[in-house]
Structure 1
Amino acid sequence: MNDAMVSSQVAQMVHFIRQEADEKANEIAASGEEEFNIEKLQLVEAEKKKIRAEFERKEKQVEVRKKIEYSTQLNASRLKVLQAQDDLVRSMKAEAEKGLLSVSEDGDAYSQLLKSLIVQGLYRLKEPSVQLRCREQDLSVVQSVLDDAKTEYVTKAELEEMPEVVVSETTFLPGPPAEDQPGPSCTGGIVLASKDGRIVCDNTLDARVEIAFKQNLPLIRKQLFGMLKLFKFGSNFNSSIVGVLPEWRGRAMQVYVKMYNDNTLASLKTLVKCSVRLLREIE
């Protein structure tokens, strides 16, 4: 074999080796590129997942804050409505108590009322000896009807002996309320107590109207606020309304107060009517 053939074979071998090395290098480069892309994609997806999780967490925090704010606003609105209702009912009671001032101005009717209150008090105490207190201006009226009251009590209770009723001429109930005289007051009626003072029956007009008020409070609230259910918030109430709740509350209060304003007088008449009925009621 001459030198030319040897050189040719060597050249072919070198070419083959270089070609094989290039192919191997290209294969390694392609594999590396593929692994790089895969790893890069995994890293990107992992970061996206973290970002989505963080966004969802913050979104939930915002929703929770919105719900808390909405609930706070809603509770505050309800408390204000309840306070407004309570103020209105209390003002009605105050007007009813003012109306009791005229009861003692009707002489004959008030005398009969005092007698009935004495009979009722005696019947409730059922004591052989009682003490009686009244307003100073009612002393003469109480003394004038006392005997008839005791007689009526004995008849109704089917007793044989008259009870001893001592009317206090030194200790009196407070007088009627006056703007320039703050403190305890009494619009009329009497207070009975057992001889030892342990059992007391408060049969003043103020006590009776308090009883009437408590017994008729559901009816009064129904007449005044029966339509308030129209303003209840639905379960699908949009949380976006939170921002306008203060304005909405003001408008709602104006609307329902206007709606129920006409019913106020009717409820007041009902309270006074029931008060008078209970005042005259004898067990």
Structure 2
Amino acid sequence: MRIGTRAHHPLYEQVAGELRKMTAFIRQEAIEKAREIQLKADEEFAIEKSKLVRQETAAIDTQYEKKFKQAAMSQQITRSTLANRTRLRVLSSRQELLDELFQQARDQISGIAAKDAKKYETVLKDLVLEGLFALNEEKVSVRARKKDAEAVKKAIEEAEKEFQESVGKEVSAELDEEDPLPEGSAGGVVILGGQGKIEINNTFEDRLRLLEIDALPAVRETLFGKNVNRRFYD
């Protein structure tokens, strides 16, 4: 009697079955391991992707914030530049108007002597007398335009009398005909004391200059409004 073939031998069948089980187990393990690796890879990919997205988002936000600040700064500079240009134009226009007004005043005072000689003599007397009171010296000299010489001499005489009546002492004021004021002067006098070291400038030009300084705030307020000095001249 012959023994059956090896393929049908019980021991063979047992071994083959074990091998199939082992192969199936290994295959299952490999599938699960592959799935685990895939899940871990997907998780790491998602984490890395999220990290990259956050980094890129932060970079974009930083870049946007930087550009926004630059744009805001540029806008502020532009606005400030335009405001300064407007302010300067307004100041320039206002200063031109003020200069024109004061020039008109200069032109008017230049014609006082020619229009009313008597009134001019009274003005000269008051200017000389003011200098006598300010210096309070026994002897002073007076400078004036050559064409005003006679009028100034009369003004000096009257001023000396008024000074003596007011102060109770005599004063001698002499017209300095060797060093007169320029003929281009609008008029008025310069009184010298302290042996020529002290000078009181009572010419029309200087008095007008002082008046411009004193009256300028009021003139600005009258022309341009109450708050103009605070808004444009601070």
The alignment's TM-score, normalised by the length of structure 2, stands at 0.86
The 1-side partners of 2:199 and 2:219 are apart by: 29
Which residue is equivalent to 1:113? 123
Amino acid paired to 1:189: G
The match for 2:103 is: 94
After superposition, what is the alpha-carbon deviation per residue over 1:114-157, rounded to whole angstroms, capped at 9, x for unaligned? Answer: 11211111111111111111111111112233222201111112
Distance, in Å, in 2 between the alignment partners of 1:62 and 1:195 is 67
For residues 77-92 of structure 1, the aligned pairs below 5 Å read 77-92=86-101
> CA contact under 8 A between 1:129 and 1:165: conserved in structure 2?
yes
29, 45, 68: which one pairs with 1:36?
Answer: 45
Please point out which of 148, 151, 168 is paired with 2:176: 168
**Amino acid across the alignment from 2:44:** E
Instruction: Describe the shift of the 1:137–1:226 C-alpha distance in structure 2 as closer, same or farther (beyond 3 A).
Output: same
What is the 5 A alignment of 1:1-283? 1-105=10-114, 106-159=116-169, 162-175=170-183, 185-194=184-193, 196-226=195-225
Aligned-partner SS, 1:193: strand
**Partners in 1 of 2:136 and 2:84 — Cα distance?**
50
Higher RCO, 1 vs 2 (CA within 8 Å, ≥6 residues apart): 1
Question: Does the aligned pair in 1 maintain the 2:128–2:155 contact within 8 Å?
Answer: no
Summarize the Cα distance change of 1:147–1:11 in structure 2 as closer, same or farther, 3 Å threshold.
closer
Q: C-alpha distance in 1, partners of 2:27/2:92?
A: 96
Structure 1 residues 22 and 153: alpha-carbon distance in aligned structure 2, compared to 1, 3 A threshold: same
Structure 2: runs of 5+ lacking an equivalent: 1-9
How far, CA to CA, are the matches of 1:10 and 1:42 in structure 2? 46
Contact 2:221 2:227 in 1 (8 A): no
Count matched residues. 219
Aligned to 2:111, what secondary structure does the other structure show? helix
Unaligned runs of 5+ in 1: 176-184, 233-283
Q: Write the deviation string for residues 240-269 of structure 1: whole angstroms up to 9, x where unpaired.
A: xxxxxxxxxxxxxxxxxxxxxxxxxxxxxx
- Does the residue aligned with 2:201 lie in a helix, a strand or coil? strand
Aligned AA (2:185): C
Moved more, 210-219 or 13-22: 13-22
Q: Which moved more, 1:196-205 or 1:165-174?
A: 165-174
Asked whether the 8 Å contact 1:131–1:195 carries over to 2, the reply is no
TM-fit CA distance, 1:57: 0.8
- In 2 relative to 1, CA 144–11 (structure 1 residues): closer, same or farther, beyond 3 Å? closer
TM superposition shift of 1:41: 1.9
Judge conservation of contact 2:188–2:202 (CA < 8 Å) in 1. yes
Structure of higher CA gyration radius: 2
Q: Equivalent pairs: percent with the same residue?
A: 32
Distance, in Å, in 2 between the alignment partners of 1:200 and 1:167 is 14
RMSD across aligned positions (CA)? 1.8
- CA gap of 1:186–1:45, structure 2 versus 1, over 3 A, is same
Deviation (angstroms), 1:20: 2.1
Q: How far 1:195 sits from its partner (Å)? A: 5.2
Looking at structure 2, the residues matched to 34 and 204 of structure 1 have their Cα atoms a distance apart, in angstroms, of 97
TM-score normalised by L of structure 1:
0.72
